[in-house]
Structure 1
Amino acid sequence: MSHAPIDIARSALLIVDLQNDFLDPEGAYGRAGQTAPAIAALPERVKPLADAIRAKGGYIISTQFTLVPGRGGEPLISPHLKELRPFLKKGDFQPGAWGHQLVDLLQPADFTVEKVAYSAFYQSRLEFVLKKAAIETLFVCGIVTNGGVASTVRDAHVRDFRTFVLADGCAAFSETTHETALKDLSSITRVITIADAIGMVTSA
């Protein structure tokens, strides 16, 4: 958890799962009434940092939860997820579909990485992309703090990436869950605000 200055050319905003199927009222979760105000507010909060990173030559990486279509287009859903989210159906989080895409406000991303589990590193090309682009530092935002964000940050930590978790750039379905997850993550990463991150980027 170094306080050394960052090299913006080797840094990225890692956006975890800010997709239409999660955030838009017409998406899979919105149709099922599965939302929270803190989650819906994230794109507007994160956009100034995304703009600052782009302006300084850093990267934007979108990791996108994916339901791989099987035969007949029916999604391959793990049993635990099917039990937790019985509303998920054919076409939800399908690669190439509108619901699978990063929300418009934060587009475009330099790299898009499909993810099939909580961690964006699990059986994905994320580590390959980071290494090939010489990215060393990640500003992490997205959903949910205790799920995709936490798992991805822990996997980044064991791979020796420098990480910053954006406290007001992440959210969960309850504020208590969000705050508990941030407290747990503080042992392996620096938890900062979006304003803090913009200051680091603009001064780099």
Structure 2
Amino acid sequence: MPTTDGLPANTLSGPVHPSRAALLIHDMQNHFLAPFERDRSPLTELLTNIGRLRNLCHTVGIPVVYSTQPGGQSARERGLLREMWGNGIAGDGIGDRIVEDLTPRPGDICLTKYRYSAFFGTDLHEQLIRAGRDQLIICGIYAHIGCLATACDAFMRDIRPFMVSDAVADFDAEHHHTALCWAAKRCAVVESTATVLGALQAATDNVPPTEPEHSTRTAAEPTGEPNHSHGRDRPLNIEAVDSLHVATQRPH
């Protein structure tokens, strides 16, 4: 995992604020975590840091959103992803599960997606608007694929993305570093878990919550179960997302 000293300079400014932000936990499914060794870096830090972010967000009332890809997709549903990555997640009911450490809690939002960006073919943007949120904290895997595509997509929708440097992971350190550098230069604020947590806690302790300028709507009351939103209910028209595509034999 990168250290704070090694983070790239940001073009966009922060800080993240609890009354404006939502947390996206991106594709933390068994299938995508399979290449990582359970008790070794980067998985150990990844699970710990995402857990810390999620816990504080629940505590201070920040919406928590999960994105997942479904198992057993058809060739049509996979589209060009099939040519790039193969058949994807098996339809065995295991690979598509969110890792047990991060099981969604009641009131969390669960989105089903079919492409890199968590915005494509889902109602993520509408969910953020309804909740009065114009900032998105991004964590999960993989940094240079779905996380980066989502950050770029958020930027193009005027949702300020915060990519958490040590709460995302990738195939290797090079891909991880490339994703952080591109994000910081072109579409997102890149900060460490400690920095994001500190900013959220400080704002919660010292500043009365304020609504984003573009919306006065508030989030719906959470139910007793995670709120599932399925991307397959929306058309699969391809949108242009400026992302990095690296052909490598990894699960996706």
User: What secondary structure, in the 3-state scheme, does the structure 2 residue paired with 1:99 have?
Assistant: coil
How many matched pairs? 186
Partner SS for 1:100: coil
Alignment partner, residue 193 of structure 1? 192
Aligned to 1:169: 167
In 1: Cα distance, 2:16 partner to 2:168 partner: 23
Partner of 1:81: 82
| Cα gap change, 1:3 to 1:125, in 2 (>3 Å) | closer
Cα RMSD, aligned residues only = 2.4
Superposition map of 1:7-156 within 5 A: 8-23=18-33, 30=34, 34-35=35-36, 38=41, 40-41=43-44, 42-67=46-71, 69-70=73-74, 76-82=77-83, 84-85=85-86, 88=88, 90-91=90-91, 97-109=93-105, 110-156=108-154
The alpha-carbon distance between structure 1 residues 68 and 54, as it changes in their structure 2 partners (threshold 3 A), is same
C-alpha distance in 2, partners of 1:149/1:89?
A: 18
Larger gyration radius, structure 1 or structure 2? 2
Q: Under a length normalisation based on structure 1, what TM-score does the superposition of the two structures give?
A: 0.80
1:117-155 Cα shifts (integer Å, max 9, x gaps) = 011111111111111111211111111111000100000
Structure 1 or 2: larger helix share?
1
Q: CA deviation at 1:171?
A: 1.1
CA distance in 1, matches of 2:99, 2:120: 23
Tell me by how many angstroms 1:65 deviates: 1.9
Q: 1:161 Cα deviation (Å)? A: 0.7
State the partner residue of 1:160.
Answer: 158
TM-score (norm 2): 0.66
Tell me if structure 2 keeps the 8 A contact 1:68–1:75.
no
Large movers: runs of 4+ above 4 Å: 36-39, 67-70
